[in-house]
Amino acid sequence: MIQLSYSTLNLLYEHPHCFLNKMSGIPQEEKVFFEKGKALHRIIQDHVARIKVDNRLKHILINFPIVEQVDFDPRCKFSFKHEHAGETYEFIGYIDGLDTENKRFLEIKSGVSLWSIGKFQQAIQRKIYALARPDFQEAYLITCLSDESAWETNPPKLFRVPLRDKDRVDATKWIDGGIDLLNKGDFTSDLVDGKCVDRFCYWGKNCQFV
């Protein structure tokens, strides 16, 4: 059975040549912001799980008893079967925080600017999580600046949105479209004369099409 994830299908949609890099086993170029993002996740996850409360997040009172404490934490993993064109696929992923008793999950996003509630509402990743947890009713976002020194003047924000049937329908359509791209097998549509010109290429100088 073919195993899929949001990150894999998102590569097919946004950076198809990167899918070939991934399937070829080429290591991604180390990027400082990847590690920085993980560190910021840790601060926020420890805070919402009340493992280590951070005074800069004192305005964020929501509690998520289950958070990722190690990479690919099995407590945060989801897996579901997806049928498309007569084939069965397994879709897997990991959620930043869970509150199963209150049927809600948490997503954390850091960057050079804060996410808006509208962007979170449109995010296909949130909709996939809704599809993975059909019993859940709410999604929470904590968005923060990647420059931690700016938190005092521009603190992380918390948003809440309900999970609706339309979210799950949208996620299903997106997964089906990604599988169609996979089956089509055209993974070089974003190359120019066979070369990578993507300044956001996750493989950087390691990309086989540089």
Helix 16-23 crosses helix 6-14 at what angle (to 10 degrees)? 130
Pairing of strands 104-111, 138-145: parallel
Compute φ and ψ for 49, nearest 5 degrees: -90, 0
Confidence grade of residue 12 (pLDDT, cut at 50, 70, 90): very high
How would DSSP label each residue in 95-146? -SEEETTTTEEEEEEEESSPPPHHHHHH-HHHHHHHHH-TT--EEEEEEEES
Q: Note whether 187 and 3 are within 8 A (CB).
A: no
- What are the chain's domains? 2-206 (3.90.320)
For the segment 204-208, the average pLDDT, to the nearest whole number, is 93
Span 44-69, pLDDT tens digits:
999 999 999 999 999 999 999 999 99
This prediction has a pTM of 0.93
Q: Note whether 48 and 142 are within 8 A (CB).
A: yes
Tokens matching residue 192: 């120019």
pLDDT at 134 over 90: yes
Please name the residues in contact with 181: beta carbons below 8 A apart, sequence gap of 6 or more: 9, 12, 13, 16
Q: What is the pLDDT of residue 30?
A: 66
Confidence grade of residue 33 (pLDDT, cut at 50, 70, 90): low
